[in-house]
Amino acid sequence: MTTHDVFRYDVPAEDDFGYSQAIRSGELVHVSGQLAFDEAGEFRDEHDFEAQLRRTHANMDRVLDHYGATRNQIVSQTLYVVDLRHHAAAAARGNLAYFGGHRPASTVLGVTELTLPGQMVEIAFVIDARLPA
């Protein structure tokens, strides 16, 4: 039987919805949609897209740190953005700032709403641990 490395923040939402933040399967790590939770598990920056994006990227880094991975090992991401037409430029700027010269496969979806009131962005991604850091 294969043992999977599971990562959790231990926030109530994980038990309420029955999920983990990430799970390793072989050399791939599948990461649930990250959002603007702070270290105490509180949702922050309601209705502030750029602040939520920065905090979401910080949470992505927390997952990467757990697996000893870097941003260069992210092979794909899916961004869910409320009011995409309004936030597309800010999403692009934030993405370029976060990844620098690295270019993972990306899909950006405009959605009408996300799970939490005032939530404007969520990012799911996949890490390939075989790639050089």
Enclosing domain of residue 15: 6-128
- Asked whether residue 1 is assigned to any structural domain, the reply reads no
Q: For residue 105, give the 3-state DSSP assignment.
A: strand
Section 98-105 average pLDDT: 97
- Asked whether residue 114 is assigned to any structural domain, the reply reads yes
**Which of 10, 119, 99 lies closest to 21 in space, CA to CA?**
10
Tally of CB atoms within 10 A around 74: 25
Tally of CB atoms within 10 A around 105: 11
User: What backbone torsions phi and psi does residue 83 show, to the nearest 5 degrees?
Assistant: 55, 60
Provide the number of structural domains found in the chain. Answer: 1
Model confidence band, residue 1 (pLDDT cutoffs 50, 70, 90): very low
What pLDDT does 29 receive? 97
- Asked whether residue 105 is assigned to any structural domain, the reply reads yes
Q: How far is 121 from 116, CA to CA, in rounded Å?
A: 10
**In the predicted structure, residue 35 carries a pLDDT above the cut 70:** yes
- Asked whether residue 31 is assigned to any structural domain, the reply reads yes
Pairing of strands 28-34, 74-82: unpaired
Domain CATH number, residue 15:
3.30.1330.40
- Asked whether residue 133 is assigned to any structural domain, the reply reads no
Asked whether 11 and 67 are in contact (CB, 8 A), the reply is no
What pLDDT does 3 receive? 54
Q: What pTM, to 2 d.p., does this model score? A: 0.94
Q: How far is 111 from 121, CA to CA, in rounded Å?
A: 9
